[in-house]
């Protein structure tokens, strides 16, 4: 079965250990991977993942350009990788970096409002979202955390109303630890969702409920590597007991249908 993992993080070797520890400390969770590109590529090969989105988050404006260059470099080195760039709400010239992201051949943007400490619906971000929509660059948002309101699902719902052309992937079923709110305010919206950092915390029945409410055609498979072991996340996914048709949709077909310019249909 063709599998695309839409949620993985990589870091340069010189900072990978610190970055992985920082993420683990932030969530008070043990980490399962090194976040090194070769480790991720090997892990994907071992379980039969054909393609995976890779990204990293800029926690300060000066990091943006170097992160985007790093992601481009690794996508050139590893054909399995599909790169998403990053931006920061406090950067001086986001328009110029968006153009550079396109020139680098990156296919979207990853934003983590909790790490970057901005509200998804912050007025500073709306012109950036409109520019991304004009360039047809989707945004993958970290979503939901009971400790903060930066990535609250209601904030994303407001953005989708104000920038209806923006293509959005709402990570963690649209609301890590805020799944009830996600289902209430995002169901029926234009957003897509990924399964990352959710299946370890909910029962298969609960996950099935979320898939039903948000729509099986709008769900992508994601692991959130290096937080979780890729094989274990696949096992958790198959333990949901979905039909073969729904498995195919979530594991690859939905993403290919939504973003054929990023990952062309298999018969092309």
State yes or no: pLDDT of 260 exceeds 70.
Answer: yes
Q: For residue range 69-123, list pLDDT tens digits in order.
A: 999 999 999 999 999 999 999 999 999 999 999 999 999 999 999 999 999 999 9
What is the band of 214 on the pLDDT scale with cuts at 50, 70, 90?
very high
- Angle at CA of residue 173, ends 55 and 94, nearest 5°: 40
Judged on CB neighbours under 10 Å (0-12, 13-18, 19+), 39 is: middle
State yes or no: pLDDT of 267 exceeds 90.
Answer: no
Give me the sign of the Cα torsion angle 114, 207, 19, 251: negative
Residue with tokens 């299946």: 199
Under 8 Å CB-to-CB from 42, ≥6 apart: which residues? none
pLDDT of residue 174: 98
Cβ proximity of 33 and 229 under 8 Å: yes
pLDDT of residue 265: 80
pLDDT of residue 111: 98
Judged on CB neighbours under 10 Å (0-12, 13-18, 19+), 90 is: middle
Distance CA 131, CA 103 (A): 15
Q: For residue range 187-206, list pLDDT tens digits in order.
A: 999 999 999 999 999 999 99
State yes or no: pLDDT of 3 exceeds 60.
Answer: yes
- Backbone dihedral angles phi then psi of residue 110, each to the nearest 5 degrees: -110, 130
Look up the CATH number of domain 4-258. 3.20.20.140
State yes or no: pLDDT of 268 exceeds 60.
Answer: no
What is the band of 258 on the pLDDT scale with cuts at 50, 70, 90?
very high
Cα-atom radius of gyration of the chain, to the nearest Å?
17
Comparing CA positions, the residue from 93, 31, 13 lying closest to residue 226 is 31
- Backbone dihedral angles phi then psi of residue 157, each to the nearest 5 degrees: -60, -40
Joined together, the tokens standing for residue 220 give 């992508």
Distance CA 53, CA 5 (A): 6
Q: For residue range 26-78, list pLDDT tens digits in order.
A: 999 999 999 999 999 999 999 999 999 999 999 999 999 999 999 999 999 99
């Amino acid at each position: 079965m063709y599998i695309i993992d839409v949620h993985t993080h990589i870091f340069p070797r010189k900072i990978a250990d610190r970055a992985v520890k920082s993420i683990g400390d932030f969530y008070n969770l043990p980490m399962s991977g090194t976040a090194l590109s070769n480790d991720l590529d090997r892990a994907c090969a071992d379980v039969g993942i054909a393609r995976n989105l890779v990204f990293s988050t800029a926690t300060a404006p000066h990091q943006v350009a170097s992160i985007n260059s790093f992601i481009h470099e690794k996508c050139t080195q590893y054909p399995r990788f599909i790169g998403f760039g990053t931006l920061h709400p406090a950067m001086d010239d986001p328009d110029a970096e968006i153009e550079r992201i396109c020139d680098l051949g990156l296919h979207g943007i990853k934003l983590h409002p909790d790490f970057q400490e901005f509200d998804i619906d912050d007025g500073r971000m709306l012109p950036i979202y409109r520019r991304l929509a004009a360039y047809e660059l989707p945004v993958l948002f970290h979503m939901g955390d009971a400790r903060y309101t930066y990535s609250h699902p209601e904030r994303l719902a407001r953005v989708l109303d104000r920038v209806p052309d923006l293509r959005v992937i709402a990570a963690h079923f649209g609301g890590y630890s805020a799944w009830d709110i996600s289902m209430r305010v995002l169901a029926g919206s234009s957003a897509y969702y990924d399964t990352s950092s959710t299946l370890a915390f909910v029962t298969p029945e609960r996950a099935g409920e979320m898939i039903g409410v948000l729509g099986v055609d709008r769900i992508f498979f994601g692991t959130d590597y290096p937080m979780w072991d890729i094989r274990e996340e696949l096992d958790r996914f198959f333990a949901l007991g979905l039909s073969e048709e729904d498995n195919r949709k979530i594991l690859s077909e939905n993403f290919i249908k939504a973003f054929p310019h990023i990952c062309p249909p298999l018969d092309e």
